[in-house]
Structure 1
Amino acid sequence: MTIWTDLADIEFKLYYLDANGINTRVLEAGNGEPLILLHGTGGHIEAYARNIKGLSEKFRVIVIDMVGHGYTDKPDRPYTIDYYSEHLLSVIQALKLSKVYLSGESLGGWVAAWFAAEHPEYVHSMVLNTPGNVNNKLEVMAKLKESTVKAVLEANYENVKTRLEWLMYDKSQVTEELIECRYNIYTRPEYKEAVHHIVCLQEIEVREQYSWHPSWCGKINVPTLLAWTSHDPTSTVEEGKLLQDMIPNSDFTVINNAGHWPQWEKVEEFNDVLTSYLLENKVVEPAK
């Protein structure tokens, strides 16, 4: 199976929308209530290619290239958590959505949590998928920055493959097509400048402004599931549970035998976890 044969027998559309001046790539499938999926650092829509068919049976799945990523516009400025959150708000408003389900992987989970803290009125419930590096471990930040920048500035098959293999517990899950897909993005001329803005969050002086902390996590009042893995390269299960203490009334689950991309390595289990939690934990608006 490949990314596009995974989608071969479902109806979907790939298009661009204007999100407050940011030309944003979007893939949609399904007709249920909207579920927005957010990728991680250096990622793109295809990070969820294996999930779209299954999730579209229950949701109107909306996957985006976040600002500065994939084929979305890349403004010349640092891509900080509040900026990603503002872009997400602009996407929701451009699509005229009143309320959404949210799930984000790694950076996407961080952005989803920040967004829910700032704009809870837009969120039914959410799943944060390996948001990672809760303790701001410098060695993890350095590794992520180095491998991301190298994959772009020294783009070749092996460097892109190495960057993708870091995400996986089972390295064989890194397909030739996924490598080619990411290589084609990383070799776009505008990406060589954007990558420095993308990795700004791996600099401690920038990251500390948005670090996981009860001061803002405590504002999250929507049902939240933390979906960790047994082999996440950024944080242990024990470190992940620190977030459960910060986010009021949140839940925690572990997907075994997966790394940083459980949505790719454990497709059916991930889809089942996400679907059951979101649909069972929908915020019901009070009658007016």
Structure 2
Amino acid sequence: MSKLPEHISVWAELSDVDHELRHVDVDGVRTRVLRAGAGPHLILLHGTGGHLEAYARDIAGLAADFRVTAYDMVGHGWSDLPDRPYTIDVLSAHLLGLMDTLGIETAHLSGESLGGWVAAWTAAHEPDRLARLVLNTPGNIANKPEVMTRLKESTLAAVRDPSDDTVRRRVEFLFHHKEMVTDELVNLRRAVYSRPGFVRAIQNTLVLQDPETRKEFAWNRDWVGKITAATLLLWTDHDPTGGLDEAALLQDWLPDAHLHVIEDAGHWPQWEKRDEYLRTHRDFLLLEKAPA
């Protein structure tokens, strides 16, 4: 009998953990939410053009220690797509509204890519709403134009033509081990990108890759330095959006930052290196005092 693969499907990852998947109203935005587990609140935020399935491999493991909430940000996944620019303040307000709707006073936040940017902005501007912060490959801290252009062009190409080839290239961009990109992951993205109105929605998200719009929210010492929460910088050695030099910037700007580098992974360590991702979260978030 042949050995089962480590990952079968999103459903298989969730098959042995009690969870609920539903939509809630957040200030008029129908928002898709998945919740599981018990313990301290932990909210997971996905990246540009993403959806909560980005964390499918992690929810069961995290639910052993946390009350986990993963959700589709406004303008993403299967949440509503109101026609307005999804700037960082808008995405942060949606997060805070979701917390209010779910009755979450404070939570740990763990954000990947764009989700890390939103989580950090929230930590800086609403410090009383969170405990600890994990920035998972937050990407392009140095605001490099070439990175913005590459992300914008590859994402727009996939949404305008949600064929297998173009969407697969967009998903493979997230992985160092591209053989881990499954047909299921690609087709989930194709389904999202094929939603009526999604071309306009992704344009509303990609305003953040425009230097003029971005400058109001760009990573810089002024606002990042206001983050008082203990922060874990979860980096990788093959992230196409930013290297360890950019992690060093955050270490310099943040009052209480701790760096952990996951090797042999790209922009989605939560998928490629699940065990290490889970272990670092448990170790950092459950310690009574953050490591020195």
**TM bucket normalised to smaller:** over 0.9
**Of 26, 32, 35, the match for 1:19:** 26
Flag the 1:135–1:250 CA change in 2: closer, same or farther, 3 A.
Answer: same
Q: In structure 1, how many angstroms separate the alpha carbons of the residues matched to 2:38 and 2:243?
A: 36
- The alignment of Structure 1 onto Structure 2 pairs a total of residues equal to 283
Alignment pair present for 1:120 and 2:127? yes
- Secondary structure, aligned partner of 1:4: helix
- 1:131 corresponds in structure 2 to 138
Q: In structure 1, how many angstroms separate the alpha carbons of the residues matched to 2:74 and 2:177?
A: 29
The Cα of 1:281 is off from its aligned counterpart by 5.3
Kindly provide the amino acid, as one letter, of the partner of residue 182 in structure 1.
R
- 1:73 corresponds in structure 2 to 80
Q: In structure 2, how many angstroms separate the alpha carbons of the residues matched to 1:199 and 1:115?
A: 20
Flag the 1:26–1:195 CA change in 2: closer, same or farther, 3 A.
Answer: same
- 1:95 corresponds in structure 2 to 102
Kindly provide the amino acid, as one letter, of the partner of residue 246 in structure 1.
W
Q: In structure 2, how many angstroms separate the alpha carbons of the residues matched to 1:247 and 1:44?
A: 28
1:207-246 to 2 correspondence within 5 Å?
Answer: 207-246=214-253
- 1:48 corresponds in structure 2 to 55
- Secondary structure, aligned partner of 2:42: strand
The Cα of 1:240 is off from its aligned counterpart by 1.7
Kindly provide the amino acid, as one letter, of the partner of residue 56 in structure 1.
A
The Cα of 1:97 is off from its aligned counterpart by 1.0
- 1:249 corresponds in structure 2 to 256
Give per-residue Cα distances to partners, 1:46-98, cap 9 Å, x unaligned: 00000001000000110000010001111111110011000000000001111
Kindly provide the amino acid, as one letter, of the partner of residue 152 in structure 1.
V
**Of 39, 59, 64, the match for 2:66:** 59
Q: In structure 2, how many angstroms separate the alpha carbons of the residues matched to 1:281 and 1:99?
A: 16
Give per-residue Cα distances to partners, 1:222-278, cap 9 Å, x unaligned: 111110100110111122211111111211110000000000100010011111101
TM-score calculated relative to the size of structure 2: 0.95
- 1:104 corresponds in structure 2 to 111
Q: In structure 2, how many angstroms separate the alpha carbons of the residues matched to 1:272 and 1:190?
A: 39
Q: In structure 1, how many angstroms separate the alpha carbons of the residues matched to 2:133 and 2:147?
A: 25
Q: In structure 1, how many angstroms separate the alpha carbons of the residues matched to 2:218 and 2:250?
A: 11
- 1:286 corresponds in structure 2 to none
1:195-206 to 2 correspondence within 5 Å?
Answer: 195-206=202-213
1:173-192 to 2 correspondence within 5 Å?
Answer: 173-192=180-199
Kindly provide the amino acid, as one letter, of the partner of residue 207 in structure 2.
C
- 2:276 corresponds in structure 1 to 269
The Cα of 1:282 is off from its aligned counterpart by 6.6
Q: In structure 2, how many angstroms separate the alpha carbons of the residues matched to 1:247 and 1:85?
A: 19
Flag the 1:99–1:184 CA change in 2: closer, same or farther, 3 A.
Answer: same
The Cα of 1:138 is off from its aligned counterpart by 1.0
- 1:31 corresponds in structure 2 to 38
Tell me if the contact between 1:223 and 1:281 (Cα under 8 Å) persists in the aligned partners. no
Query: Cα RMSD over matched residues?
Result: 1.0
**Of 82, 91, 105, the match for 2:89:** 82
Tell me if the contact between 1:225 and 1:252 (Cα under 8 Å) persists in the aligned partners. yes
Tell me if the contact between 1:223 and 1:282 (Cα under 8 Å) persists in the aligned partners. no
- Secondary structure, aligned partner of 1:139: helix
Tell me if the contact between 1:124 and 1:282 (Cα under 8 Å) persists in the aligned partners. no
Flag the 1:181–1:282 CA change in 2: closer, same or farther, 3 A.
Answer: farther
Tell me if the contact between 1:132 and 1:240 (Cα under 8 Å) persists in the aligned partners. no
Q: In structure 1, how many angstroms separate the alpha carbons of the residues matched to 2:259 and 2:284?
A: 11
TM-score calculated relative to the size of structure 1: 0.96
- Secondary structure, aligned partner of 2:208: helix
- Percentage identity across paired residues of the two chains: 50
Q: Which runs of 5+ in 1 are unaligned?
A: 284-288
Q: Which runs of 5+ in 2 are unaligned?
A: 1-7
Alignment pair present for 1:147 and 2:158? no
- 2:4 corresponds in structure 1 to none
Q: In structure 1, how many angstroms separate the alpha carbons of the residues matched to 2:117 and 2:137?
A: 9
The Cα of 1:3 is off from its aligned counterpart by 0.6
